Amino acid sequence: MPTPRDPDLFLKPLADAFFTCTANDGPGSTPVRNAHFFYAAKFASIARLIELDRIIPEFDENSQPPQTREKTLQENQLLYGFFTNGVSAVESFCFAAYFLGTALEKLEFDPEPKLRGIDPERTLSCFSVLDSNSPFTQALQRCIRSQEYKTTTAIRNMLSHRITPGRTYRPMVSRQSWNLDQWHEGDWSKAVRGSAGRISN
């Protein structure tokens, strides 16, 4: 089993930057509301990463034969938890990063934004305007624009709003079955010829 990561250590540079900004500018320079959102998002990111480290070995252990209905249901929940926590970890990180931007007191970051409007794309856009060549901005762009993140987000949306993870379904009215265990790299359209099963937002 791999050694558990330290999410708090991973997020320490972000927290240190926020602390430095607020400490240098003196008390009251950053609204309490924004400080709350920063630290709440940071701790949410930590919780999601810890949960991912719990889910992965549990799924590996649970997927060993023999397979039972109970284990299949448990695998469904673990897959759901993996994708939802994975996307949420990125979203929470970007939420915290946005409020780090407000602590920098830069015009690119609205200090009183509508919370629903703060997503990874908006955070990336603000940092790109601030300094598109900074290592932080470039790393954030590689993450958000990566195919892995796009696929993970698409699967999370599908599992959250439409279906359970891939399994073989046999309708009562037909002898035909669909082998949905084959994810086809995010494309279920090949499971049944002529069907439209591509994952989309």
Rounded-to-integer distance, Cα 94 and Cα 194, Å:
39
Q: Could you list the pLDDT tens digit for every one of the 201 residues in the chain?
A: 445 678 888 899 999 999 998 887 665 678 889 999 999 999 999 999 999 999 999 998 888 888 888 888 888 899 999 999 999 999 999 999 999 999 988 889 999 999 999 999 999 999 999 999 999 999 999 999 999 999 899 888 888 876 665 544 444 444 444 454 544 444 444 433 444 344 433
Who's near 23: CB < 8 A, 6+ residues apart?
Answer: none
pLDDT computed for residue 137 by the predictor: 96
Whether residue 52 contacts residue 89, with contact meaning beta carbons closer than 8 Å, is answered with yes
- Give residue 68's pLDDT: 85
Q: What is the pLDDT of residue 115?
A: 93
Q: Where are the domains of the chain?
A: 7-161, 166-201
CB 152 within 8 A of CB 164: no
The pLDDT value given to residue 40: 95
pLDDT at position 3 is 54
- Residue 187, helix vs strand vs coil: strand
pLDDT at 169: 44
Q: Among 129, 177, 180, 121, which Cα is nearest to 155's?
A: 180
